[in-house]
């Protein structure tokens, strides 16, 4: 019991964790992939996702990291946060198979959604929920970031950890 109390005192409270995760720029694809996979795995029962090979899941930035001139992503994503900040928020990132990620690239959101819809058998639950979003704006990213951060809190809170923790 003393060890758990000490551990708890060293870690952030749930609300602090949620606030930090939802508002932070996350540039490490490995870190983001881990968080999104953990959330995705908590949503599925018996589905299996391939960890390596051509169908490996990549981190897709819905609003792209390096937009080209075909669509004005920077204008669309304008708001309180800079484009650089908002594109790396957890809410702007999802999991796609490598081939789908490469073909989605810098397309505008409506075209990405068409592409996602035509590949629904290859989509994670995290990506399927994007099909319900009408337009991809800074507020959509913020809302999704907050929602995913709450799911992360639910996955990594003390009650959930207690099931796996043997002291």
Q: Where are the alpha helices (DSSP H) in the chain?
A: 2-10, 14-23, 29-43, 73-76, 83-87, 98-104, 109-117, 125-128, 138-156, 158-164
pLDDT score for 46 = 58
Q: What's the token pair of residue 125?
A: 């639950």
Residue found by looking up tokens 């996602």 in the block: 116
Question: Does residue 32 register a pLDDT over 70?
Answer: yes
Whole-number average pLDDT of the chain: 86
Q: How far apart are CA 51 and CA 83, in angstroms?
A: 30
Cβ(22)–Cβ(90) under 8 Å? yes
- pLDDT grade, residue 84 (50/70/90)? very high
- The pLDDT of residue 41: 86
Confidence of residue 68 (pLDDT cuts 50, 70, 90): confident
Q: List Cβ neighbours of 90 (8 Å cut-off, separation of 6 or more).
A: 21, 22, 24, 26, 32, 35, 36, 144, 145, 148, 149
Q: Give the count of alpha carbons within 13 A of 156, CB side only.
A: 21
pLDDT at 14 over 90: no
Separation between Cα atoms, residue 144 and residue 53, nearest integer Å: 29
What the block records as the tokens of 11 is: 């870690």
């Amino acid at each position: 019991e003393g060890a758990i109390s000490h551990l708890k005192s060293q870690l952030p409270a749930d609300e602090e964790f949620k606030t930090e995760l939802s508002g932070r720029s996350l540039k490490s694809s490995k870190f983001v992939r881990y968080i999104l996979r953990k959330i995705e795995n908590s949503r599925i029962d018996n589905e299996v996702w391939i960890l390596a090979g051509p169908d490996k899941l990549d981190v897709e930035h819905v609003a792209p990291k390096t937009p080209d001139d075909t669509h004005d992503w920077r204008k669309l994503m304008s708001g309180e946060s800079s484009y650089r900040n908002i594109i790396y928020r957890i809410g702007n990132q999802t999991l796609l198979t490598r081939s789908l990620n490469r073909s989605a690239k810098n397309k505008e959101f409506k075209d990405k959604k068409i592409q996602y819809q035509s590949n629904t058998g290859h989509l994670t639950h995290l990506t399927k929920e994007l099909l319900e979003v009408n337009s991809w704006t800074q507020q959509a990213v913020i809302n999704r970031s907050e929602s995913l951060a709450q799911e992360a809190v639910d996955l990594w809170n003390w009650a959930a950890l207690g099931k796996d923790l043997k002291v």
